[in-house]
Amino acid sequence: MAIKERKQSDIQQREQEGRGLLVRGGSSEELRDILVAVYGTLKRGFGNHLLLSTAVFVSKAKTERKYPMVIHGSGLPFLVEKKGIGHNVDLELYLVNKDELNQLDMLEGHPDWYKRKKAGVVTPEGDVLMPYIYFAPDSYFSKRENLYETYDYGQDM
């Protein structure tokens, strides 16, 4: 079996077992096996990306289903779990460890504000993965909102 096919088979098996990819990241020997997708201020070039400075970038991706992403007056994006409304939203995928996931949960106010849930995403190569995505409360969406495919408000880059 070719290396790429074996890698894809390993990814699919880990996904079926509820685990993400498994890598050693940065200078740490700590394993990073939790896949998360980010769409806003945690992306590269934005202020909160510092929380992912030791995470392992995996790929760009898009949500498999359409979701509404709104940007309120504060300039912060909110992805609402209303499937079929909006766009296939642009994402970045990262592998994190449990401590990094806890830091992200604190930033996003999970589980009291944003909810961290698994959702399908598609990489540019066509791979479908199931990372965690942070969804805002349903009340953040109204039919009068402008809906966005990507977040680039005030980007540092």
120 domain residue, yes or no: yes
Residue 17 lies in a domain: yes
Instruction: Count up the domains in the chain and report the number.
Output: 1
Domain contains 147: no
Residue at 154 is within a domain: no
The band of 143, judged by pLDDT with boundaries at 50, 70 and 90, is confident
Residue 157, in any domain of the structure = no
Alpha carbon separation from 154 to 3, 42, 79, 95 (Å, rounded): 41, 13, 18, 25
Among left, alpha and beta (phi > 0; psi -120 to 50; other), residue 93 is: beta
Q: How confident is the model at residue 42 (pLDDT cuts 50, 70, 90)?
A: very high
Measured between alpha carbons, how far is 21 from 84 in angstroms, rounded to an integer?
28
Does residue 145 belong to any structural domain of this protein?
no
Give the CATH number of the domain where residue 78 resides. 3.10.490.10
pLDDT of residue 8: 52
- How far apart (Å, rounded) are the C-alpha atoms in residues 45 and 49? 7
Phi, psi of 143 (to 5 degrees): -65, -10
End-to-end CA distance of the chain: 41
- Name the pTM for this structure: 0.81
| Active-site residue set | 108
Query: Residue 125 carries which side chain, given as an amino acid letter?
Result: E
Instruction: Report if residue 82 sits inside a domain.
Output: yes
Residues spanned by the domain of 115 = 3-140
